[in-house]
Chains A and B, each alone.
Chain A
């Protein structure tokens, strides 16, 4: 029982048991993994349960607009070099889901927890984390009125007195501003392809100057912190200047950035970059993302892109033309019901790819692609898109519920 020396109180034990029972009922009723409903029941019985469950663990929190699920997996895999890990690997990242995940790991030494951006400050207060990884912040679900800079401000206020070591992306001005109030920060040059939410200085509102990889505010002097860890090409550069090659099964620049941050987090717990990175190689598709599946006799790679920054990162990792691309967009409540964000994505990056359009909001996509001057075909369903696509592996990019629809259809 490494890391679990103090027994849970009777009330906490009851809460955990009740939570597990509720989860089992939910699973039996066919409502998914049941982790969220289980957590809700447990939290109701013992509101301090989250804090109590975490007390026995070295906790790492991971938050961001994009990449938090994958990074949580990478860090968890790296920390397994040092002991057992409990994690909300299924992406249930609000307090109820987190409670449920922690309740399942009484023998663990580490808790690696993905946290929804809006809940980070509160969860950080409850669980006294040893480390907090902050990756990026950008526009997401426009109809929710959760303004990006307000999120950064909430992080900044909520984390200002934290005892945790904060590992933060120096290349994202909003993240840098949020983290710069924390007592101990390890800065990582993790890069940032999407820049359109950070042209204004988060501190004073001045216009940020962004020459090359640098950024600074000419008005107040707020500038990019000096990083000690960096992603450089295909390598992690550690604080001692030694480069470690990144080998992942996950594609794309963004995942190399996630691996770099994960290596910096692992080092806090005494796990060397080589060991951490070797372990990260074992992380495969995360919740079906990047999975290559067979459908109608063809190979499809499933790619999730939930917001403009995610679409941009996804365009940079797909195979070049003439690889066929399927795009699927919904605007259900979990996606945000406003599709205006489609116009913030530069679809001209898909020029040369045969494009097939699906989803509840395929007509919004059709107009977007028409205005971008691209050729495309609007399809009734996935089968039609796959049948129409020329040979070779197909890249299928979808937003949140559209991605779930594809997985369900394919039986994956």
Chain B
């Protein structure tokens, strides 16, 4: 960390904050403070420069046109790429997940370059939209309990050789490629289609990012009662699709 305060950067809320993914920033901030950490949350609008000194960068989901605008502005800005080169953590959801890959299909139907910090490529799925509860098993190297989330997208994301699937699906569409994968990750960069928001349903993801940022193996426990109750309910709901 750059100083005694954890620097949490919420990227482009003016464009990529349509599906409640701001909740990831709220959960991270809350769980960090409960561990006595000092947190500085930096909300960066798309007409502002992205700071390169952040510890954790969060990117949310958004509609198709804002997604293109965000990709254009983030490429021009270059701040996230520099931060990742310095070891910063990035966690991106849905439209944000596509943006941090090599390319995706934009609202005009054209190939839009992404930031290329995660080895994935996204195309538009010509079939039905993936909408609903998802249940998946997270890559065992990450040591996380099952992943529960809500998906709402029309993307197909193919994972390249230098990234790994974030999770293996039990229920849901995930990456949409039919290979049973959901999301992708490599080193300190993570992408997922899961809303919910995903850290409200999977607070251990927030803890994982905190541990990576602090370079520690464990964190003091916090009250998990309501998170656990919600997880149990949503995991059961995903197992019995409507």
| A139 within 8 Å of B (CB atoms) | yes
A199 and B230 contact, CB distance less than 8 A: no
| A200 within 8 Å of B (CB atoms) | yes
Partner of A340, one of B26, B129, B195: B195
A364 and B131 contact, CB distance less than 8 A: no
Candidate in A143, A342, A363, A371 with the most chain B CB atoms within 10 angstroms: A371
Q: In angstroms, how far is the closest chain B Cβ from the Cβ of A197?
A: 8
| A207 within 8 Å of B (CB atoms) | yes
Chain B residue at smallest Cβ distance from A343: B23
A207 and B46 contact, CB distance less than 8 A: yes
Chain A residues with CB below 8 A from B19, complex form? 142, 338, 340-341
The secondary structure that dominates the B interface is mixed
Chain A residues with CB below 8 A from B229, complex form? 363, 366
Task: Bits for B99-131, please: 1 = Cβ < 8 Å to A, else 0.
Answer: 000000000000000000000000000000101
Chain A residues with CB below 8 A from B21, complex form? 340, 343
Mark out the residues of chain B between 143 and 195 whose CB falls within 8 Å of any chain A CB in the assembled complex: 150, 152, 195
| B140 within 8 Å of A (CB atoms) | no
Given known contacts A142-B152, A145-B129, A207-B14, A343 and B63 CB-to-CB distance under 8 angstroms:
no
Question: A343 to B30, alpha carbons, bound, how many Å?
Answer: 13
Chain B residues with CB below 8 A from A142, complex form? 18-20, 152
Question: A372 to B33, alpha carbons, bound, how many Å?
Answer: 12
Given known contacts A142-B19, A342-B20, A371-B200, A149 and B65 CB-to-CB distance under 8 angstroms:
yes
Chain B residue at smallest Cβ distance from A376: B226
Chain B residues with CB below 8 A from A372, complex form? 26
Chain B residues with CB below 8 A from A196, complex form? 13, 17
Q: In angstroms, how far is the closest chain B Cβ from the Cβ of A80?
A: 41
| B215 within 8 Å of A (CB atoms) | no
B18 and A139 contact, CB distance less than 8 A: yes
Candidate in A139, A370, A372 with the most chain B CB atoms within 10 angstroms: A370
| A367 within 8 Å of B (CB atoms) | yes
Chain B residues with CB below 8 A from A378, complex form? 226
Task: Bits for A372-394, please: 1 = Cβ < 8 Å to B, else 0.
Answer: 11000010000000000000000
Question: A373 to B27, alpha carbons, bound, how many Å?
Answer: 11
B66 and A371 contact, CB distance less than 8 A: no
Question: A240 to B233, alpha carbons, bound, how many Å?
Answer: 58
Chain B residue at smallest Cβ distance from A153: B65
Task: Bits for A336-373, please: 1 = Cβ < 8 Å to B, else 0.
Answer: 01111111100000000000000000011011101111
Candidate in A142, A367, A372, A378 with the most chain B CB atoms within 10 angstroms: A367
Question: A148 to B229, alpha carbons, bound, how many Å?
Answer: 33
Partner of A370, one of B20, B150, B196, B226: B226
Chain A residues with CB below 8 A from B152, complex form? 142-143, 145, 338
Q: In angstroms, how far is the closest chain A Cβ from the Cβ of B68?
A: 8
Question: A370 to B227, alpha carbons, bound, how many Å?
Answer: 9
B22 and A343 contact, CB distance less than 8 A: yes
Question: A378 to B226, alpha carbons, bound, how many Å?
Answer: 10
| B45 within 8 Å of A (CB atoms) | yes
Partner of B197, one of A199, A207, A340, A370: A340
| A239 within 8 Å of B (CB atoms) | no
Chain B residues with CB below 8 A from A278, complex form? none
Given known contacts A338-B152, A367-B230, A344 and B20 CB-to-CB distance under 8 angstroms:
yes
| B137 within 8 Å of A (CB atoms) | no
| B64 within 8 Å of A (CB atoms) | yes
Chain A residues with CB below 8 A from B17, complex form? 196, 344
Task: Bits for B44-87, please: 1 = Cβ < 8 Å to A, else 0.
Answer: 01110000000000000001111001000000000000000000
B226 and A367 contact, CB distance less than 8 A: yes
Q: In angstroms, how far is the closest chain B Cβ from the Cβ of A401?
A: 15
A363 and B226 contact, CB distance less than 8 A: yes
A367 and B200 contact, CB distance less than 8 A: yes
Question: A150 to B17, alpha carbons, bound, how many Å?
Answer: 17
Chain A residue at smallest Cβ distance from B200: A367
Question: A147 to B45, alpha carbons, bound, how many Å?
Answer: 20
| A7 within 8 Å of B (CB atoms) | no
Q: In angstroms, how far is the closest chain B Cβ from the Cβ of A147?
A: 4
| A320 within 8 Å of B (CB atoms) | no
- Beyond A197-B18, A338-B131, A339-B20, 16 extra complex contacts between A and B, CB < 8 Å: A142-B19, A196-B13, A200-B14, A200-B66, A337-B132, A342-B20, A344-B17, A363-B226, A364-B200, A367-B200, A367-B226, A367-B227, A368-B23, A370-B226, A370-B227, A372-B26
**Chain A to chain B: the 6 pairs with minimum beta-carbon distance, closest first:** A340-B20, A343-B23, A199-B14, A343-B20, A207-B47, A363-B230
Chain B residues in the interface with A (C-beta under 8 A):
13-15, 17-23, 26-27, 30, 45-47, 63-66, 69, 129, 131-132, 150, 152, 195-197, 200-201, 223, 226-227, 229-230, 233
Chain A residues in the interface with B (C-beta under 8 A):
139, 142-143, 145, 147-150, 196-197, 199-200, 205-207, 337-344, 363-364, 366-368, 370-373, 378
